[in-house]
Homo-oligomer: A and B are copies of this chain.
């Protein structure tokens, strides 16, 4: 049983912690929180052992009636692996703590690629991460791109990929962030998402642009792929159909926006109403003049959750076969 701690219990941390409890080859030692807010209340209600990541804040938890098992260092001492789900750039600051304790750690997409030994996506480069000490699960957007681009590489000779990412500007829980009524372009063009995908799929030619829009529930990607040889839409659809964590949907079933997708996801009954899969509109997939067009959505809160579980298996080496880890994770989380 791999002993895992989760540092940070926000949007990603609480989901990874939950997912760990569903595995039979790993154990959740505890979670670390900075302060006794509603997220800490959740951890307590879920009977997780709670550690305090800011030692001087322990008193705040006690005053709120929340039992604390120790500091982040106490948690680290009991673990084989830490999943660092703290806000972007904080992971890099925490890394020395893990190094000093001599334990492995997994970071999230908000950290820079050079913080770690390798970036990670189960479908793309599971093997590369085996035995590493510090890996980074690529961001929700990069994960989404990896899932639908990777399977095409096996069946088609593809040229330049152009992706425009229409990002949700804030997560459902973020009540202070806007905009309320505007579109915010990422003025660095091409955006960093293309290069980020190359950290797990180095041999592709991809460029990207991005904008943020006033919605909280999902990102949406419009993707154009140059095809160098003849391949049919049906072959692409078939490849996606066989790819784990990709889900084909159609507007004819009422999926006319990200709203219906998340309604469907909630109704599936998974924890937090999550959708771990990348939904791709089958009826918005088209090939014309040697170019493939398709549209997918990304549940930014959860698509990286199964990747984190796989990453734990890869760096600890308890499972060296990518496909087996993916299947095991999927089964544990109800992903078909």
Task: Using CB atoms and an 8 Å cutoff, list the residues of chain A in contact with chain B.
Answer: 14, 36-39, 41-42, 45-46, 64, 162, 164, 166, 168-170, 172-190, 207, 209, 211, 213-218, 220, 222, 224, 251, 253-260, 262-264, 266-269, 271-273, 281, 283-286, 288-289, 291, 293-295, 297
**Cβ of B175 and Cβ of A176 under 8 Å apart?**
no
Please give, as numbers and ranges, the residues of chain B lying within 8 Å of A293 by CB-CB distance.
Answer: 189-190, 207, 209
**Cβ of A263 and Cβ of B38 under 8 Å apart?**
yes
**Cβ of A267 and Cβ of B14 under 8 Å apart?**
yes
Please give, as numbers and ranges, the residues of chain B lying within 8 Å of A253 by CB-CB distance.
Answer: 36-38, 41, 64
**Cβ of B213 and Cβ of A254 under 8 Å apart?**
no
| CA distance in complex: A253, B41 (Å) | 9
Task: For A294, give its contact among B189, B216, B217 (CB under 8 Å).
Answer: B189
- The dominant DSSP class at the A interface is mixed
A64-B253, A185-B284, A214-B215 known, 12 other contacts, Cβ within 8 Å: A38-B253, A38-B263, A39-B264, A162-B162, A170-B179, A174-B178, A176-B177, A181-B217, A182-B215, A182-B259, A187-B283, A190-B286
**Cβ of B266 and Cβ of A38 under 8 Å apart?**
no
